[in-house]
Structure 1
Amino acid sequence: MQEIENVFMQIISLRNSIRITIDRGQAVSALETAIQNNLGASFNNIPLEIHQIHPSSVEERRMQSQTLISVYFTGQPDADYVHITVHPVSPEEE
């Protein structure tokens, strides 16, 4: 039986830091839903833009919602670092 690989992501959103565990075999859209659920019902209808960041860099890479999380995270991320940032999508981008 193949072990399910999970990724631990610390997320900074609205001045809060939260930790979410999700299977890397899921799409980024599942991560968006998990974040919205963690933030509460008032965020369910707010589209989010998720960016991957690397501990050694300040550059961010936008994560596409239908792409698998495993494309962005091929191994187990270090739990001591922030791995993504989350921003509400501006109305011009929708």
Structure 2
Amino acid sequence: MKFLAVCGFGVGSSMVLKMTLDKVVAQLGIDATVENTDIATAKATKADAYFTSAELVKDLKQSTDNPVYPIKRYMNKDEVEAAVKKYLATKED
């Protein structure tokens, strides 16, 4: 599975979010790749789930049918883990 950490320019905050996602994926034992990118590239990139700021959710949702999860605190492992678990719960249905 593929997760994208998305921010406006694909450099700063998306890298921080990617690092947190990497920790969560490893902790949960999920076979997933995590990449960070900017919003324009994310719109053109297929992923199983997208993680981004609340400000970018609407824009990103217009470009994909896959889930987009808003994250407020990119370094908060509990918040990111909750979003990943929410995604995983949809896959079990």
Same fold (TM over 0.5): no
Q: Which structure has the highest helix share of the two?
A: 2
Structure with the greater alpha carbon radius of gyration: 1
- TM-score, length basis structure 2: 0.28
Q: Which structure has the highest strand share of the two?
A: 1
